Chains A and B, each alone.
Chain A
Amino acid sequence: MIRYTIGRLTSLCLSLLVASMVIFAVVEVVPGDPAAYMLGVNARPDTVAALRTELGLDVSKPERYLAWTTGMLSGDFGQSYTYRTPVSQMILDRVWVSVPLALFALTLTILIAFPAGIYAASRRGRAGDMTVMGATQFGVAVPNFWFAMILVLIFAIKLRWFSAGGFPGWENGLFTGLKALLLPAIALALPQAAILARVMRSSLLDMLNEDFIRTARAKGLNRRQALWRHAVRNALIPVLTIIGLQFSFLLAGGIVIEQVFFLPGLGRLIFQAISSRDLIVVESVVMLLVFLVIVVNFAVDLAYALVDPRLRTRS
């Protein structure tokens, strides 16, 4: 297991390194000088030069890349070109909305998908299975931002149970914060839950055809007992991989949902940064998102190896 972990960890570090190079290279393609852009067309050359020095833009690109990456390692993402505040602080203020939203949505996804998938598999071919599968077909086809608009229309505007947008902050209490994130999380979770329920069902059906289930049935367990005691646990292995992938979709999907609900998360930060050409913020937020995706996939790989010992030996 230690060798496997070291191998995966090396791969993780390499992926992060290459990802940081790609992000930096892509953003650096942008023509124009951020300092000149910030000061406007009438700025004096010496003022522009002074600002370039202040922002660290007067050194070569490799030096800037090194400064950016080494800074990130110590939590310093540089200074926003527009707001002149540390990017790390801006991210920190927003990450407390985006990450809890993704985690909340992931929890809802699992809470909806597992029972639905298990129920459908246990009633294969019957009305219950057909109903769940039909519902998941629709769930997969629904754009989450449109579903979010429908939720706002029903629960915020018509019924007035929730606010139509905004986030009051965690300092007003956990319940208030979770209530503000509930509709966005449901909107994010529904399509992912539909996908996961289908994966759960097909994984369970595969397991139900395995010899060990036949053995369990031969030992006297009924279908339901065999399903719960043996099949569900084994079916979780492929499901785990999908959950890891879904976290990245939820994190990225949150960018869109934040727009619907006017949530002050990473999504809104990145859009503000794009519109004001605050490229250091753009590259830092993108790097953070990619970092989270890679780390979650790494964690899934480890969890996978813990559940399935064959993987460790294969590596």
Chain B
Amino acid sequence: MTLPRSLILGTFLSVLFLGAALLSFVWTPYDIQTLSIPSRLQTPSLTHWLGTDQLGRDILSMIMMGARTSIAVALLAVGIGMGLGVPLGLLAAARRGSLLDELIMRGNDLIFAFPSLVIAILITAVFGASAMNAIVAIGIFNIPVFARLTRGAALSLWSRDFILAARVSGKSATRISVEHILPNIANLMIVQGTIQFSLGILAEAALSYIGLGAQPPTASWGRMLADAQTLASIAPHVALMPGLAIVFMVLGLNLMGDGLRDLLDPRLQVART
């Protein structure tokens, strides 16, 4: 079996950023807390590979630290979405057609009416801006995505023979959901998780850019872009580098998601062989 090219490229890009984020815990080329006004707005060079910003901070080091924030926010938001959405979807499928199913699905519809940015605005208006509130806002938006997907996939499984066999053997709906349905939809969740992860990176950047996400001194790609906005004409690299970091991180995750789907979907495997 050959691995899809998109999976290889996507995994490479994703691991690159994940590695940079992990490395930033122990090492960055320069300390981003140290300001160096004499070396401000330097273009990329051998000393500063991606140049310096308006306060003389090394952009590569800031991107490494920013990767940490982006990945943490997006990962936790996916965790909230999966942690609440998957059980809700399983429950709705197990009680198909019941009042509970209807309530869960209408609740999902309601959340869908609030784009994640609007949820973030509401939360910020009440509790103030922070990375934690960004996680909650993006996470809430992820819940119906996973709930709908889980319900749809689980419903198609509930009519299968092996589930019927499990029911005949006396297993409860909860046990069937956990022991039989969940393992069979895990692949689907992994693929969707990758997609939501990449959307989370974009959402975190947007929220930080408008000041509703991570707050200084926490490094964030969105905040770097907000700071760079007025400098773009005199030092374009300050705006270019964090933007490219977002593009390549999201591109990597999307390619990885596409590749995983190709790899994990048996129908596509048959088509390839």
Assembled-state Cα–Cα distance A65/B80 (Å): 30
Question: Can you show 7 pairs from A to B with CB atoms below 8 A apart?
Answer: A15-B106, A140-B250, A143-B202, A259-B210, A279-B125, A282-B125, A286-B118
Is A82 among interface residues, defined by CB-CB distance under 8 A?
A: no
Which of B115, B123, B240 is most buried by chain A, counting CB atoms within 10 A of its CB? B115
Residue total for A at the interface (Cβ-Cβ under 8 A): 46
Assembled-state Cα–Cα distance A23/B247 (Å): 33
Is A66 among interface residues, defined by CB-CB distance under 8 A?
A: no
| Chain A 280-315 per-residue mask, 1 if CB under 8 angstroms from chain B, else 0 | 001000100110011001000000000000000000
Which of chain B's residues have a CB closer than 8 A to the CB of A294? 113
Q: Quick one: given A15-B113, A141-B198, A249-B115, are A146 and B225 in contact (CB under 8 Å)?
A: yes
Assembled-state Cα–Cα distance A255/B120 (Å): 12
Min C-beta distance of B16 to chain A, whole Å: 15
B residues touching A (Cβ–Cβ < 8 Å)?
106, 109-110, 113-118, 121-126, 198, 202, 205-206, 209-211, 225, 228-229, 232-233, 236, 239-240, 242-243, 246-248, 250-251, 254-255
B209 touches A145 (CB 8 A): yes
A259 touches B126 (CB 8 A): no
A residues touching B (Cβ–Cβ < 8 Å)?
11, 14-15, 18-19, 22-23, 26-27, 29-30, 137-138, 140-146, 149-150, 152-153, 157, 248-249, 251-253, 255-256, 259-260, 270-271, 273-274, 279, 282, 286, 289-290, 293-294, 297
Q: Quick one: given A137-B254, A271-B210, are A252 and B125 in contact (CB under 8 Å)?
A: no
B202 touches A15 (CB 8 A): no
Assembled-state Cα–Cα distance A142/B251 (Å): 8
A137 touches B255 (CB 8 A): yes
Chain B residue nearest to A18 (CB atoms) is: B110
Assembled-state Cα–Cα distance A23/B113 (Å): 12
Known: A18-B110, A22-B110, A137-B255. 8 other contacts (CB 8 A): A15-B110, A29-B126, A140-B254, A141-B250, A153-B236, A255-B210, A260-B229, A290-B114
Interface of A is mostly: helix
Assembled-state Cα–Cα distance A311/B198 (Å): 33
Assembled-state Cα–Cα distance A140/B246 (Å): 11
Assembled-state Cα–Cα distance A18/B114 (Å): 12
Assembled-state Cα–Cα distance A260/B123 (Å): 22
Chain A residue nearest to B243 (CB atoms) is: A146
B251 touches A141 (CB 8 A): yes
Assembled-state Cα–Cα distance A134/B169 (Å): 50
